[in-house]
């Protein structure tokens, strides 16, 4: 007491320096008080959540990492080495999971196509990318380059599409579907908004039909019954049929998303465009669509993510996407009973790519959120 009295400094009024806030109202303690223990319910919730994490995390970590086996020749060796997950299986079949049955000496082509795709995507998504203009021009011819690289011909050894598989197949279906379903979706949405009744009802019928049935029934039709509806003897590639079906499927959803955007564009905008003497297509291209698309970005990305995820369904018709490769590999006598590892591995792949898409959409949404917010 006395000591503190002695140590007490004297200040002129108004010159007292700011004292640090009392302990417990700053730093981690304050944060914890506010975010974890602010009220009885909150405390209960925190304890519950912490208990939940305690129950889940140690087991999951030891199974998937500390007790897991990463190098082994077969499952028995895995079991002998450790008690956790057997990732050696994935490691052994890495090539199969990535490239499917694509010939091993030709796999550089897939890698090259993928690198080019990454360049195009970076150029499209990142404005400050060096050489963006050149890459933009390249983006226009990229589909042809990629097709050539993957399928071969013109100097490269041809590779049939049924050799495609694994993540490569997922990415092909995803990227093609995404690239094609957007324009198609825009056309369908415009068609649905059109005041020409026949066009309108044709679009409505198409959209509602596609949205009303599950994708696997459509894929099943594509894989087995499409040939009944084609002239006798025609037969085109299964992958192409799947791509068409997936694109049509996604475009119907896309159309609905964009229709929402179109409806949000005030009528005055269209009337103003009319008054300026703009015809239908220029008015749409210059006035309506830019606004509508901007509004619908979250929905569009959601549709993309949905399409990408739906590509696993091709397993139902016998295309070997990562899941299909996994299931076929599980039939291998050396590696039975590892389904959890396979499913988790594929799940992680999808999570990473879809989460990235979702984050980018958030970023874009914020960036484009210029004005108009009331």
Partner 1 sequence: MSSGTSVEGSTSITSQRNIFSRLWNDKETRSVIVQIIALVALFAFFAFMIRNAVYNLEAIGKGFSFDFLWQPANYDINQRLISYDSRSSHMRAMQVGILNTLLVAFAGIVLATVLGFILGVLRLSKNWLTNKIAYVYIEYVRNVPVLLHILLVHGIMVHSLPKPKSAINVGDAGFLTNRGLFMPKPIPEPLLWAVIALFVAGIIFAIIFRSWAKKVQNETGKIYPVFWISVFAIIILPVLAYFLLGSPVNWEAPELKGFNFRGGMVIRPEFIALWLALSFYTAAFIAEIVRAGILAVSHGQTEASMALGIPRGRTLKLVVIPQALRVIVPPLSSQYLNITKNSSLAIAIGYMDITATIGGISLNQTGREMECMIIVMALYLLFSLLISMFMNWYNKRIKLVER
Partner 2 sequence: MNKSFLSAAAFAALSMTAVNAQAATLDDVKARGELNCVVSTGIAGFAAPDDKGVWAGIDVDFCRAVAAAVLGDGEKVNFVPTTGKTRFTVLNSGEGDILFRNTTETMSRDADLKLTFLPVNYYDGQGFMISKELGVNSAKDLDGASICIQTGTTTELNLADYFRTNGISYEPVPVETNAEAQTNYLGGRCDVFTTDASGLASTRASFEKPDDHIILPEIISKEPLGGAVRHGDDQWADIGKWVVNALIAAEELGVTQGSAAEMGKAAGDNPSINRLMGTEGDFGSMIGLDNQWALRAIEAVGNYGEIFDRNIGPDTAIGLERGLNAQWKDGGILYAAPIR
We find the least distance from the C-beta atom of residue 347 to partner 1, in angstroms, to be 5
Binding of partner 2 at residue 331 (CB under 8 A)?
Answer: yes
**Residue 92 contact among partner 1, partner 2, none, beta carbon within 5 to 8 Å by kind:** partner 2
Size of the site for partner 2 (CB under 8 A): 36
We find the least distance from the C-beta atom of residue 235 to partner 2, in angstroms, to be 5
Q: At what angle do helices 132-151 and 107-125 cross, to 10 degrees?
A: 150
Q: Which helix (H) or strand (E) holds 181?
A: helix 166-193
Binding of partner 1 at residue 50 (CB under 8 A)?
Answer: yes
CA distance 196 to 266: 21
Nearest residue to 270 (alpha-carbon basis) of 254, 259, 281, 260: 281
CA distance 30 to 21: 11
256 contact partners, CB below 8 Å, separation of at least 6? 189, 207, 211
280-319: contacts with partner 1 (CB under 8 A): 305, 309-310, 312-313, 315-316
We find the least distance from the C-beta atom of residue 214 to partner 1, in angstroms, to be 4
Binding of partner 1 at residue 339 (CB under 8 A)?
Answer: yes
Binding of partner 2 at residue 266 (CB under 8 A)?
Answer: no
Instruction: Using the rule CB under 8 A, give the single segment among 96-104, 106-114, 208-216, 291-299 that binds partner 2.
Output: 96-104
Out of 13, 14, 197, 233, name the contact with partner 2 by CB under 8 A: 233
Nearest residue to 89 (alpha-carbon basis) of 101, 78, 100: 78
Backbone φ and ψ for 171, nearest 5 degrees, come out as: -70, -40
Q: Which residues pair with 69 in a beta bridge?
A: 86
Q: For CA atoms 212, 210, 322, 57, give the dihedral sign.
A: negative
Out of 26, 38, 224, 263, name the contact with partner 2 by CB under 8 A: 224
Binding of partner 1 at residue 351 (CB under 8 A)?
Answer: yes
Size of the site for partner 1 (CB under 8 A): 55
18-37: contacts with partner 1 (CB under 8 A): 34-36
CA distance 111 to 168: 9
269-328: contacts with partner 2 (CB under 8 A): 317-318, 320, 324, 327-328
**What is the token pair recorded at 174?**
């995803």
Instruction: CB nearer to partner 2: give 79 or 367.
Output: 79
Specify the residue for token string 């999971």. Answer: 97
316-335: contacts with partner 1 (CB under 8 A): 316, 323
CA distance 346 to 338: 13
We find the least distance from the C-beta atom of residue 366 to partner 1, in angstroms, to be 15
């Amino acid at each position: 007491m006395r000591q503190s009295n002695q140590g007490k400094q004297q200040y002129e009024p108004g010159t007292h320096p700011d004292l640090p806030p009392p302990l417990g109202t700053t730093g981690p303690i304050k944060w914890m008080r506010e975010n974890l223990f602010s009220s009885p319910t909150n405390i209960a919730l925190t304890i519950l959540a912490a208990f939940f994490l305690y129950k889940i995390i140690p087991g999951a970590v030891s199974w998937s990492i500390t007790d897991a086996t990463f190098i082994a020749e077969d499952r028995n060796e895995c079991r002998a080495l450790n008690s956790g997950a057997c990732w050696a299986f994935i490691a052994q079949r890495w090539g199969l999971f990535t490239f499917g049955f694509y010939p091993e000496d030709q796999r550089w082509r897939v890698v090259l196509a993928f690198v080019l795709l990454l360049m195009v995507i970076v150029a499209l998504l990142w404005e400050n990318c060096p050489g963006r203009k050149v890459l933009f021009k390249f983006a226009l011819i990229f589909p042809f380059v990629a097709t050539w690289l993957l399928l071969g011909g013109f100097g490269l050894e041809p590779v049939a599409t049924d050799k495609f598989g694994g993540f490569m197949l997922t990415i092909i279906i995803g990227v093609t579907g995404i690239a094609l379903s957007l324009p198609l979706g825009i056309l369908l949405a415009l068609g649905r908004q059109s005041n020409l009744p026949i066009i309108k009802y044709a679009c409505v019928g198409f959209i509602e039909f596609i949205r009303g049935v599950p994708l696997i029934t459509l894929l099943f039709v594509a894989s087995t019954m499409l040939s009944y509806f084609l002239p006798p003897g025609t037969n085109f590639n299964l992958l192409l049929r799947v791509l068409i079906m997936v694109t049509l499927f996604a475009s119907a959803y896309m159309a609905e998303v964009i229709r929402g955007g179109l409806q949000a564009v005030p009528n005055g905008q269209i009337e103003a465009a009319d008054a300026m003497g703009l015809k239908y297509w220029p008015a749409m291209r210059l006035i309506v669509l830019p606004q509508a698309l901007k509004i619908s970005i979250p929905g569009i990305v959601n549709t993309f993510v949905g399409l990408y995820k739906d590509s696993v369904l091709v397993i139902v018709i016998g295309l070997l996407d990562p899941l299909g490769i996994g299931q076929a590999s599980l039939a291998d006598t050396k590696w039975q009973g590892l389904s959890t590892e396979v499913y988790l591995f594929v799940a992680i792949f999808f999570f990473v790519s879809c989460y990235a898409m979702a984050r980018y959409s958030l970023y874009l949404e914020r960036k484009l959120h210029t004005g108009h917010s009331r």
